[in-house]
C-alpha cells in the first residue's frame, strides 16, 4: 500500500529569487559610488571635504559639491587634491564651479577653531556646507569620518577624495579657496611666508614663528603656538611694527 504522507512543498531558492541589489562596477572609476547610489534612487549625491585641518595658522575651509552627469567628461582629471599640482588644482577650480549642479564653501576662522576645537569646527563646517547647497542632496559622502546632524543619509569614505568624484571636487574647491586666502594673508601679514607653506608646520614656518611670534591668524590652541606664548616668545606687536622698531633701533646705533 502506498504511503499517503504528502510530499514536502518547500521550494528551493535560487539566485534569481533574491531581492535585486545595486551592482558596483569597477569600470565606473571615481563615479562608482555615486553611480551605485543614483541607481538605487538615493541621489543627488553630495561630496564634502575640508582643507587646513592640520595647519597651525589660517582658517579651516570646507566645501560641499554635487556633480551632474555632464561633469564626467569635463572633470576627468579629478583626483585627490593633495595628489594634484597647484597649477592643476587652479585649472580645475573654475571647471568644478561651472559643471557642478550645486556647490558651497564655508570658512571657519582661526579664532573660532580656538574657541570650539578643530574637530567640532570640522563637523559644524561640514553641516554648514551641506546646508548651503542650492540643491537638497539625497545622500552625502564625507571624507574620512561620520558627520552627525546632516539633512540626508550619509556615509564616511576613507580616502574619499581619491575614491569619489564628488568628494574630489569638494576637495579641490576647499584647497584652492584656502590657498588663495593664505596668499592674501601673506600680503597682509608679511614675514611668515604664508603663501609658501599655507600655514602648515614646515621648517620655514617654524623658523618664522620663533623669530616673529604668533600673528592674529595663528591658532593658539595648537601646542607649537601655545608653547611660544607660554615661554614669552610671542610678541603682541604686528610684524610691521616690529620691523619699524628694528629699523629705528638700527638707526639709533
Q: In what order do the strands lie in the sheet with 60-67?
A: 100-108, 60-67, 45-51, 139-143, 154-157
DSSP 19-54: PP-PPPPGGGGGGHHHHHHHHTT--SEEEEEEE-TT
Q: Are 60 and 125 in contact (CB under 8 A)?
A: yes
Q: What share of the chain is helix, strand, coil (3-state, %, to 5)?
A: 50, 15, 40
DSSP assignments along 232-247, one per residue:
T---SS-HHHHHHHHH
Q: Indicate the angle between helix axes 223-230 and 203-212, nearest 10 degrees.
A: 20
Q: Which helix (H) or strand (E) holds 98?
A: helix 86-99
Residue 124, marked binder: no
- 207 marked ligand binding residue: no
What distance in Å separates the CA atoms of residue 109 and residue 111, rounded to the nearest whole number? 5
R_g of the chain computed on alpha carbons: 26
CA 93 – CA 189 distance, rounded (Å): 26
Rounded-to-10 torsion of CA 94, 95, 101, 105: -40
Q: Is 50 annotated as a binding residue?
A: yes
**What value, to the nearest 5°, has the Cα angle with vertex 25 and ends 24 and 29?**
110
- Show binding-site residues for a divalent metal cation: 49-50, 143
- Show binding-site residues: 49-50, 143
Amino acid at each position: 500500500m502506498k504511503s499517503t504522507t504528502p510530499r514536502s512543498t518547500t521550494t528551493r531558492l535560487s539566485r534569481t529569487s533574491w531581492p535585486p541589489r545595486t551592482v558596483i562596477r569597477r569600470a565606473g572609476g571615481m563615479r562608482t559610488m555615486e553611480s551605485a547610489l543614483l541607481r538605487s534612487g538615493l541621489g543627488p549625491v553630495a561630496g564634502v571635504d575640508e582643507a587646513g585641518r592640520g595647519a597651525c595658522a589660517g582658517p579651516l575651509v570646507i566645501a560641499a559639491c554635487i556633480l551632474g552627469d555632464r561633469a564626467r567628461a569635463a572633470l576627468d582629471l579629478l583626483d585627490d587634491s593633495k595628489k594634484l599640482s597647484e597649477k592643476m588644482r587652479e585649472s580645475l577650480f573654475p571647471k568644478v564651479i561651472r559643471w557642478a549642479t550645486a556647490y558651497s564653501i564655508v570658512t571657519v576662522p582661526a579664532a573660532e577653531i580656538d574657541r570650539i576645537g578643530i574637530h567640532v569646527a570640522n563637523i559644524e563646517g561640514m553641516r554648514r556646507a551641506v546646508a548651503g547647497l542650492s540643491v537638497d542632496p539625497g545622500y552625502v559622502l564625507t571624507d574620512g569620518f561620520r558627520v552627525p546632524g546632516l539633512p540626508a543619509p550619509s556615509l564616511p569614505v576613507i580616502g574619499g577624495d581619491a575614491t569619489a568624484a564628488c568628494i574630489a571636487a569638494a576637495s579641490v574647491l576647499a584647497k584652492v579657496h584656502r590657498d588663495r586666502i593664505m596668499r592674501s594673508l601673506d600680503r597682509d601679514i608679511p614675514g611668515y611666508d604664508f603663501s609658501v607653506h599655507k600655514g602648515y608646520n614646515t621648517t620655514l614656518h617654524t623658523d618664522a614663528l620663533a623669530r616673529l611670534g604668533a600673528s592674529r591668524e595663528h591658532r593658539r590652541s595648537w601646542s607649537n603656538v601655545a608653547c611660544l606664548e607660554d615661554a614669552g616668545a610671542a610678541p603682541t606687536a604686528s610684524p610691521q611694527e616690529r620691523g619699524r622698531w628694528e629699523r629705528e633701533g638700527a638707526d639709533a646705533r
